[in-house]
Structure 1
C-alpha cells in the first residue's frame, strides 16, 4: 500500500525549530530558512489558504509548529499553506515506513526511519521490545518481511 497522508499535522508539529521565516515579501511570498542547513527557499502561500495565516491557534497545541502549518476550517485537519512551493525536505518526508494498526484498524504505531518504532499503544511497544527489536537482519527488505510476519501473526495489520 503506498503512503497516504492523513493530514494529522504531526510531521510539521516540531518544524518551527527548523523552518523559520527569514523575510516576508509581497503577495504572500516568503523566504524560509532551514536553520540546520542554512538553505533558503522561496515559498508562496496558496491564494485559497492565505486567509488561514491570521489564525495562529495551532500554535497553542503545537508551539514549535512550522510557521505555515494551519488547521483547515472545512474539515479540521492540518494543512500546509505553502504546499505547492514547500521545500524539498517537506516533499520527501514520509512519516512512516510501516504503519501498524491494531486488529480494530486503529493506529498502534509507526516504524520510522530505518527501524524506529513510534508507538501509540503500550502493548505494541512491549511486543516490539520482545519480538521485533530482537530481529537480527541487515537487509531492510528481509527485516521488514520478518517484522510484518511477526506482527501479523500477533493480530496486527501492517501497511507499507
Structure 2
C-alpha cells in the first residue's frame, strides 16, 4: 500500500523560509513569494479555515513553519491557503512510502524518491535497487513498496 496523507503537517513545519508574506492586502489576502523560485503569488485564506487561521499561537510556537499552517483541532495540521497555494506546494509530497520493520518505522521515501533512514540494512537494500526504479512517481512508489515487502518490510 502506498502512503496516504494524514495531514500531519510535517511536510510544511519547516517551510517558513520558503513562503514569505510580503504584505497583507486585505483581511484574509496576502502578497507572498516563494523564496526558492522567486515567484510572487496572491494567497487567500480559505473561507472554511479562517477561524483557525486567526489563531496565531501555532506560528509563534513554530517559527520555521509555513505561515499558513494551522492545527485543525482534530489531530490534523492543515494548509489554510490550499485553494491558492503556489504550484510548488501543490505538487510537493513529503512522504510517498513509509517503511516499517514490525511496528517500527525504519525509513521513508520522499516524493522525489529519496530514502531517509538510519537503518543501514534498509539503506543498502535501497541502494541495490536504485538503478531499477521506474521513472514515473506512481510506478516508482508502487515498485518500491513491493520491493521492500519482498524483503520482509511492511510499507504504507
**Which category describes the TM-score, using the shorter chain as reference length?**
0.7 to 0.9
8 Å CA contact 1:16–1:66 kept in 2: the answer is yes
- How big is each residue's C-alpha offset from its partner over 1:26-81, in whole Å with a ceiling of 9 and x where there is no partner? 131111111122111111111222222332332355321000001112x0310111
Question: Quick check: 1:51 aligned with 2:51?
Answer: yes
2:75 is matched with which residue? Answer: 76
8 Å CA contact 1:103–1:157 kept in 2: the answer is yes
Q: Mind listing any 5+ residue stretches in structure 2 that lack a counterpart?
A: none
Q: Secondary structure at the match of 1:50?
A: helix
8 Å CA contact 2:100–2:155 kept in 1: the answer is yes
The aligned length equals 153
User: Separation in 2 of the partners of 1:30 and 1:128?
Assistant: 44
Question: Quick check: 1:111 aligned with 2:105?
Answer: no
Please report the RMSD computed on the Cα atoms of aligned residues, expressed in angstroms.
2.7
Q: Secondary structure at the match of 2:102?
A: coil
TM-score (norm 1): 0.78
User: Separation in 2 of the partners of 1:134 and 1:3?
Assistant: 22
TM-score (norm 2): 0.79
Query: Which is bigger in relative contact order (C-alpha 8 A, separation at least 6)?
Result: 2
2:123 is matched with which residue? Answer: 129
8 Å CA contact 1:101–1:108 kept in 2: the answer is yes
Shift of 1:14: 1.3
